[in-house]
Structures are given as C-alpha cells and as structure tokens.
Amino acid sequence: MGKVLLEMKNITKTFPGVKALDNVNLKVEEGEIHALVGENGAGKSTLMNVLSGVYTYGTYEGDIIYDGEVCKFNKIKDSEEKGIVIIHQELALVPEMTIGENMYLGNEQGKKFSIDWSKTYGEADEYLAKVGLHESSRTLIKDIGVGKQQLVEIAKALAKHAKLLILDEPTSSLNESDSKALLDLMLEFKKQGMTMIIITHKLNEVAYVADKITVIRDGSTIETMDKRTDEITEDRIIQGMVGRELTDRFPKRKNVKIGDKALEVKNWTVHHQVYSERKVVNNVSMYVRKGEVLGISGLMGAGRTELAMSIFGRSYGKNISGELYINGKEVKLHSVREAIEHKIAYVTEDRKGNGLILSNPIRVNTTLANLDGVSNHGVIDTDKEIAVAEEYRQKMRTKCPSVEQNVGNLSGGNQQKVLLAKWMFAEPDVLILDEPTRGIDVGAKYEIYCIINDLVAAGKSVIMISSELPEVLGMSDRIYVMNEGRIVGELDAKEASQEVIMGRILSSSKGE
Amino acid sequence: MNKENVSAFFKKYTMVIVLVVVTLFFTWKTGGRMLLPQNVNNLISQNSYVFILATGMLLCILTGGNIDLSVGSIVCFAGAVGATFMVNKNMSVGVSIIIMILTGLAIGAWQGFWIAYRRIPPFIVTLAGMLIFRGLSNIILNGFTIAPMPDAYLNLFNNYIVDVFHGNGINITCLLAGIIIAAVFVLVTFKGRMSKIKKGYKVGPAINDIVKCAVISIVIIAFMWRLAQYKGIPMILIWVAVIVLIYGYLTSKTTVGRHLYAIGGNEKAAQLSGINTNKVYFIAYANMGLLAAVAAMAVIARLNSANPTAGDGYEMDAIGSCFIGGASAYGGSGTIPGVIVGATLMGVINLGMSIMGVDANWQKVVKGIVLLAAVIFDVESKKRSK
C-alpha cells in the first residue's frame, strides 16, 4: 500500500433543491491511476469542482485532506499551487494563440510588463517533448488537430507542476488511435510517479489504465474496486453505475423486413469548405435500404460527418459532385430545407453547438425543423405545439419537469433525446445519426438504441455514424468502413468484428 | 403564493415594477404634475418615434444582439425626402407617404443585403449608413429646414379622434375605447385559459390571471381616462398601437418570429434545421428601414418641419429601450411588450425630469445609468438562475 495522497472525507454538497453529493468518500494513493466512473449527473464533475476549489471552502461539508493536511481552497489557483490540476472535458485553448502562449496563459513567464518569450517557448518545448507531441510550441492551436490539442492541455498541466492530475473525459473527442496514445502516456506518467484521476464513460479505458475504480451513483459512492485484489469486469462496473444489471447493452431487434434502397449516392466527391483543393470525401458510392440500420465506422477525420452533411442539402463542403438517388429517383438538393422536404434528417454530432438552442425550451427545440407541422399560413398554433412536444417527451421518456424547461438545463442524455425528437417530428424516411450516443451515460444509450430499433421497425432507414466500434457492431445490419474520405470496406454485421474493421482501416492507410 | 412564486413573479415583472416605482417617484417629486392629462398625452406624442423604432430594433437585436446604428439618419433622410416632395414639389400627401416608405424600405434592403448575403458585420454597415444618410439629408435639404407641413398631412398624426358622444369636459369615445380594450383583454385571457383547460393542458392558478387582468384593465382604463380629460385619443397613439400589435403578433405567433429567436439562440442549429438564415437577417434589417420611415413620418409631423439634425441620437433611444425592456445583448430573447415597457420607462424618466426642470445634460447621465443598471441586472439574474 502506498501513501495516501488525497482523501476526500464525507463530502456533501447541496445546491438549492438538490443534493448533488451525499457523503462521498474518495481515497487516492500516490502514484496510482484512479478511475471515477458513473452516469452523467452522478456527481463526478461536482466532486472534482469541490476538489479544485471551483466550489470554495465552506460551500460544502466534509474535508479534503491532501498530502497530510486539510485544505481550504478559495479559488482554483489555490489548488493549482498545491499541484492539483484539472483538465476539463471541453478544451480551453485559444485557437488564435500559439501552443506556448496557451500553455502559459495566466501563468506568464518573466516580468509583469515584459514577458520572457524565449523562456516561455523554451520550456514549452521541453514539456511538449515529455508528452510526446512533435510540434513547435510556436504553432498556432487552430493548426493542430483535437488529439494534439488534448496533449497540449496535458503539457500545460505539467507546466503548472502538477502532482495530482485530473482528466475529465480526456478521450471523448479523440479517435481510437489518439485515445490509445493518450492512455499510454498516462501509464508512462504513472511510471514516473504521477498520481492521476480519470473520469470516463468508456469502460475499456478504465480496464486498460486504472489501478482502482470508484463508482459514483446519484451523488454517493457505491464502491471502490482495487485491480490487485478484486476481480473487475465491465458488467460489474456497469451494474454499479446504473444500479441494475444490463443483461444486454444493445436491445434486440425483432425481425425487420429490409426493403428497397431508400437513399443512394454514386461517385460522391466533396471538397473541403476552406481548402477547396482538398478532397474530404472521395468518390464514395453507398446506399441504405428501408428498415435497415447502416453503420458507418471510421476514425475521426475519415470524412464521415462531411459525407453526411454534404448529402444533407449541401450543408458542408464545396464543389460537391456525384449523384444522389432517393427511392430510386435522382434528385438534386441545394439547401437544408430541400433535404428536409425530401425526408432526410441529419442529427448532428455536436448537439450543443449545431443542434439545440440551449436558451430555449424543449417545446421550441422540438418543432424547430418542422414549424409548418404546427402552424397555419405562418401562424404558430401554440396549443398544438405544446401537444407535440409533450407527445415526444413521453415517447422518448425525456426526464424534465415540463416541456417549457430550457434545454440548456438538461443532462446530455436528455438533450440528445430532445435533438432526436426534433428530427423525428420532421418525419424523415432516412435519419442520419452522427455519433448519437457521444458523451451520454449507459442508461440513456440503451434508450437511444431502442428508439433506433423503433424507427427501422416503422420502415425508416437509419444511417449511424459512430466512432465506438462496439456500438456499430451491436446495432448495425450492415457496415461501411471509411478512411481518408473513401469507403474502404463494406461488411455484413455477421462477418464484422472490431479486428476486421480496424484491419480495413489500417491496411487502407498503408496503401497511401 | 409561496416564496418561489413570489421571486418568479418579481423576476418576470421587474421592469414593470420599476416603471411603477419610477412613475410614482416623479409624481411625488412633481407634486402630481407628472400625471396631469396633458403630460400623459405628451408621454405618447413625444415618444412615438421611440416606440416605433424600438419595435423594429428588437427584431435586429433578436438575431444575435445586432443593432442598427443608422435609424436616426434614416429618419432624417426619409423625413427630408417626404418634406421635399410634399412641400417643395407640392405632391399629394398619399403619394409622398408612399415615397417615404419606399425610401426607408430601399435603405433597409440595401443595408440588409450587405449584412445578410455578404455577411458584413451589422455594426459596420449601419455605422456607414449613419454617416451616408446623415450626409445625404443635409445635401437634399441644402442645410435648410423645410416647413410647414401641409395640414392634410399633419391631421394624420397630430389630430385627435373626434368624440362622437360630445362629452362635456371628458372625451367619452376615448373612455369607452379604454373600457372596450380592457374588456377584450380580459375576454381573450380567459378564453385562452378555458380552451387550455378544455384540451387538458396545465394552467397556472386562476388568481394569477385574475390579478393580471385586474391590474392591466385598471391601467388601461386609467390611462384612457387621463387622455379623455385632455383631447381624447391622439392619432399617433393609433399608429403606435397598430405597429406594436402587428409586431407583437409577428414575433410571438408566427414562424418568421420563431426564426428570429432561433437564429439569435443558435445560428448553426437554426441553419441545420432548414431555416434560411440569410433571409431572416435581410428581413430584420429591411424592416428596420421601413419602420424608420414610419418613425420619420411621425417626427416631421410632430416638428412640423424636416431639418438636417432631426433624428440625431434616436438609434440610442431605440437600442436603450430594447435592452432596458429585457432584450438579451446576445440575441435570442426579448419581447415586444418588454420593449414597450422599456420605452415607456425611458419616456417617463425624460418627462419627469423635464417637468422637474433637471438640466438636459443630467438627464443624459441618468438615462445612461438606467441603461447600464438594467443590463447589469439582466446579466446578473441570468447568472443566478444557472
């Protein structure tokens, strides 16, 4: 047993009306990787906010004992001085600044009125080398990918002399290979004696890096498991998280009759929105049939979102060429409106940025894509609108006090349900779901899968773009594998496996 | 009512409460002169242009906190054009009005085109417009004032509705109109409530609606009674009321209105929901030009002249009214009734201080502080609700 670096004792935090944390205990030993798992809204982030001083001493009950002393943090700087550094899920980097400037933002080197740039960049380069990022610290953040940005965040934490590093869903926007590299980096830091807490939804990551796992549910600690002494299985963790046994993570689909081709593209090529000489989708031909769930798998940046959005009324890309057939007839779609009129829906991967109006109630969001459905000659029938929103709230089992609740106050899973409801109300025949379960908890995922099954049972077609291989494998009837803008494989669900898909991606990358 | 209801009530009606308190304050300070019939009448006629411009400005602000700086200059320009045709060219009043409206619409469309379809920041486009149309007004007017306006024109704005009942000392038509409006309001409120109950939707406690109806009815009747003691219903009140009703309906009940709010709330989401965002921007700014022309009509009638400095600073009155009335500086929220309350509050402060004889420069200071306080309050209360 190592030395206990951090102990959080009986932490209770109450918000008006809600008890977010109820007697939570957490013990972290020096030099271990401790995973914190739990559904969305279970209280993980609140706990970490208590630890880092976002919620100041006195606004919660209980004690934080770090390195042998009771801590009373009044601001984030206090906890950072002790070496407790959080890397938040949403990256907090300024795109127009260089890596080095970002790393020392708020912690500028040199004198107050004379920043020492050579020191800044010199040290930044050292830290970048430590995290294995081969970029100059003078590169602008906007010029590097998300995976590398995540590494910059870590380098930034190191520059603050972190002793206890907290990573809040560090891989949520990374693809498989970048995720793997990040986890390996964590293991490398562990060897050097760093202590880390990782918050994540992905159980395979937990199994890969964590020494101990603490499960939190509804603001209370359920149990802490030790890899050395306990037998840890994914099922056991899931059971702890949701409080029930999830016998099957993917609901069974009853025999759905698969019909004719609902949507087909031939020789579809799309150029990058800004760098118009670059092809992001390259000569793609694909189709989806009625009653079919079509999975599109691939790494981030493979061109899947670009493919979907370019089909959806040219909402992305330049110089789009190729043919689009709906129910066997060739059509040309010039705008999102036309796409919706041709009964196509695209459910974005970025529900907060591109999908929902967070400051508006569920009612308004639900009808936004089909206002004609609740209005006569441009006049909205509010009663009808409420009825529609209410109907979908029940159908999707969205948890909210009423449909007048602002979407911004809902949890990720419930937001995703509102977003889906919006597009289901537009009555599409072909639904393109882009990462439909990103960042939502296990229970809500299951419900989304059930909705997908209902849709195909009603004869609709679903195209599901997903970076989570188990999900693609568990839900699809047929799978396309995309890489570097091309389709590099078409697989029947029966013959597909994680290995086969990754194999297709890797072998096609080598061919370049 | 429990504690939560009370705080929700105060939050919703803060500006109304502030308006009442400020009105009472000035009534006290002016020894009751504030609420003399003539002053109530002046509140409307002096501020008619603010109501009209603020209504249009709200649409621009809804799209994302975008403002239109050019409205003051458009008022001046449209007024100059109208006066030139009416007075110098002896054109008929009807034709001149149509020309003014078309002028405003054309300017709005011009600015809207650059903002919506070329995506030039509204601040820049309208700042340019502010300079261009102020300059053009001076060029058209040669720096002189055109006056007086024809009587037929003035009658449209400065007259009062004739009392068909010939009341003695009190305008019965006016009072009657007030009672009818109040009755219609009560009727509509309860009809809506009934139909909601019939369809099985949830409704708030009846006491809320009753109190709301009682307060609003009393205000309407008291207001019209004051006007009745003066000369009756001013024509300009009809103009303002019609515009406010049209745009109140447009923003709250139509798809176009919903699109405005959606764009301000999340432009990308609106775009991916099939909303033609360019068109919505264009409509907002073209419409602002149109309403600026309507305001110009009211202004040249009230001044009985068109002069090169007319409309100076009007954009700030309109923008201020919107923000005081609760429109978000980031777009996506704000209502026409809110803007009316905001404009009235500005008007009451102006009028109250003028009666008290406060120096014009100090009036500006007070208005500035009120604007800042309103927005600070709005931002802070939003933070807390999170």
Distance between A302 CA and the closest CA of chain B, angstroms: 21
| Mean pLDDT, rounded, of chain A | 87
Of A161-165, A413-417, B204-208, give the lowest mean pLDDT range.
Answer: B204-208
Average pLDDT over residues A387-408: 89
Are A357 and B262 inside 8 Å of each other by CB? yes
Which residue in A254, A302, A287, A322 sits closest to A435, CA to CA? A302
pLDDT for res A248: 67
Q: What share of chain B is helix, strand, coil (3-state, %, to 5)?
A: 75, 0, 20
Q: Which residues of B touch A (CB under 8 A)?
A: 195-196, 199, 201-202, 253-256, 258, 261-262, 265-266, 268-276, 332-333
Q: How would DSSP label each residue in A113-179?
A: TEE-HHHHHHHHHHHHHHTT--S-TTSBGGGS-HHHHHHHHHHHHHHTT-SEEEEESTTTT--HHHH
Say which residue the tokens 């800042």 belong to. B372
A344–B contact, CB cutoff 8 A:
no
DSSP H helices in chain B: 3-12, 14-29, 37-62, 71-83, 93-112, 122-141, 151-158, 172-198, 206-229, 235-253, 255-265, 267-272, 277-303, 314-324, 336-356, 360-385
The one-letter amino acid code at B333 reads: S
Q: Is the ipTM of this complex over 0.90?
A: no
User: For residue A371, which residues of chain B lie inside 8 Å, CB to CB?
Assistant: 255, 258
Q: What is the DSSP letter of A250?
A: S
A122 has pLDDT over 50 = yes
Q: Please give the distance of CA B21 from its chain centroid, rounded to a whole number.
A: 21
User: For residue A355, which residues of chain B lie inside 8 Å, CB to CB?
Assistant: 269, 272
Distance between B245 CA and the closest CA of chain A, angstroms: 15
Distance between A380 CA and the closest CA of chain B, angstroms: 5
Give how far Cα B67 sits from Cα of A228, B30, B113, B118, B126, Å: 63, 35, 15, 17, 8
pLDDT for res A379: 93
Q: How confident is the model at residue A299 (pLDDT cuts 50, 70, 90)?
A: confident
Cis-peptide into B308, omega within 30 deg: no
Are A356 and B261 inside 8 Å of each other by CB? no
Beta-strand pair A69-70/A212-217: unpaired
Low-confidence ranges of chain B (pLDDT < 50): 1, 386
Helix (H, G, I), strand (E, B) or coil at B274: coil
Q: How confident is the model at residue A511 (pLDDT cuts 50, 70, 90)?
A: very low
Q: Which of B196, B253, B265 sits opposite A357 (nearest CB)?
A: B265
Instruction: Assess contact for A293 and A451: CB atoms under 8 A.
Output: no
Average pLDDT over residues A451-464: 94
Of A280-284, A328-332, A399-403, give the lowest mean pLDDT range.
Answer: A399-403
Of A43-52, A425-434, B129-138, give the lowest mean pLDDT range.
Answer: A43-52
Give the residue on B whose Cα is nearest the Cα of A423.
Answer: B273
Average pLDDT over residues A180-194: 91
Best residue of B198, B272, B382 to probe chain A, by most A CBs closer than 10 Å: B272
pLDDT for res A222: 86
Distance between A7 CA and the closest CA of chain B, angstroms: 30
The one-letter amino acid code at A478 reads: R
A42–B contact, CB cutoff 8 A:
no
Are A378 and B256 inside 8 Å of each other by CB? yes
Which residue in B85, B91, B82 sits closest to B298, CA to CA? B82
Instruction: Assess contact for A12 and A62: CB atoms under 8 A.
Output: yes
Size of interface A-B (CB pairs under 8 A): 80
Are B273 and A336 inside 8 Å of each other by CB? yes
Average pLDDT over residues A441-456: 88
Are A339 and B274 inside 8 Å of each other by CB? yes
Which secondary structure element, helix H or strand E, spans residue A322, and what is its range? strand A318-326
User: Over pLDDT 90: what percentage of chain A?
Assistant: 44
Distance CA A356, CA A369 (A): 11
Distance CA A428, CA A461 (A): 9
Give the residue on A whose Cα is nearest the Cα of B259.
Answer: A368
Instruction: Assess contact for B97 and B91: CB atoms under 8 A.
Output: no
pLDDT for res A236: 80
A 388-407 near B (Cβ less than 8 A): 402
Q: Which of A356, A371, A372 sits opposite B269 (nearest CB)?
A: A356
Distance between A394 CA and the closest CA of chain B, angstroms: 15
Best residue of B258, B267, B271, B273 to probe chain A, by most A CBs closer than 10 Å: B273
pLDDT for res A512: 41
Give the residue on B whose Cα is nearest the Cα of A410.
Answer: B386
Helix (H, G, I), strand (E, B) or coil at A301: coil
Average pLDDT over residues A212-222: 87
Distance CA A61, CA A67 (A): 20
pLDDT for res B136: 96
Q: How far apart are the first and last CA of chain B?
A: 23
Distance CA B313, CA B271 (A): 35
How is residue A420 written in tokens? Answer: 């889906």
Which residue in A319, A253, A276 sits closest to A475, CA to CA? A253
pLDDT for res B28: 93
pLDDT for res A460: 94
Q: How would DSSP label each residue in A25-56?
A: EEEEETT-EEEEE--TTSSHHHHHHHHHTSS-
Instruction: Assess contact for A228 and A211: CB atoms under 8 A.
Output: yes
A276–B contact, CB cutoff 8 A:
no
pLDDT for res A279: 87
Ramachandran angles phi, psi of B342, nearest 5°: -60, -45
Total Cβ atoms within 10 A of residue B160: 18
Instruction: Assess contact for A504 and A483: CB atoms under 8 A.
Output: yes
A249 burial (CB, 10 Å; 0-12 / 13-18 / 19+) is: middle
A503 has pLDDT over 70 = yes
pLDDT for res B113: 97
User: For residue B269, which residues of chain A lie inside 8 Å, CB to CB?
Assistant: 353-357, 368
pTM of the model: 0.81
Beta-strand pair A379-380/A375-376: antiparallel
pLDDT for res B384: 66
pLDDT for res A465: 94
Give how far Cα A84 sits from Cα of A77, A378, A424, Å: 9, 55, 45
User: For residue A315, which residues of chain B lie inside 8 Å, CB to CB?
Assistant: 271-272
pLDDT tens digits, residue range A56-113?
A: 888 888 999 998 888 888 888 888 888 999 988 777 888 889 999 999 988 888 887 8
The one-letter amino acid code at B327 reads: A
Which secondary structure element, helix H or strand E, spans residue A489, and what is its range? strand A486-492
User: For residue A311, which residues of chain B lie inside 8 Å, CB to CB?
Assistant: none
User: For residue B272, which residues of chain A lie inside 8 Å, CB to CB?
Assistant: 312, 315, 336, 346, 348, 354-355
Give how far Cα A235 sits from Cα of A203, A231, A240, A445, B63, Å: 10, 11, 9, 16, 49
